[in-house]
């Protein structure tokens, strides 16, 4: 398995398929959003083998 997370920067349609421009550690990937039709710009998603499979809930921490 090759699981990573990234943030959706842009959503567009390519060849009739919803795609996301996803920021992953400073690089951008084009990721099919077929399984995440409710995804929106700003969402953090889980990507497995180049396909978005779920949204990720990130915990926010505040340093004191």
Across-strand partners of 20? 11, 31
CA–CA separation, 41 and 62 (whole Å): 24
pLDDT(32) > 90? yes
Q: What is the pTM of this model?
A: 0.83
pLDDT at position 58 is 66
Range 37-49 burial, b when 16+ CB lie within 10 A, else e: eebeeebebebee
Structure-block tokens of residue 57: 């809930």
Which CATH code is given to the segment(s) 3-55? 2.30.30.140
pLDDT at position 57 is 81
């Amino acid at each position: 398995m090759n699981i990573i997370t990234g943030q959706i920067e842009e959503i567009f349609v390519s060849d009739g398929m919803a795609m996301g421009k996803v920021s992953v550690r400073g690089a951008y990937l084009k990721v099919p959003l077929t399984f995440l039709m409710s995804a929106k710009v700003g969402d953090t998603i889980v990507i497995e083998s180049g396909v978005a499979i779920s949204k990720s809930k990130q915990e926010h921490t505040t340093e004191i």
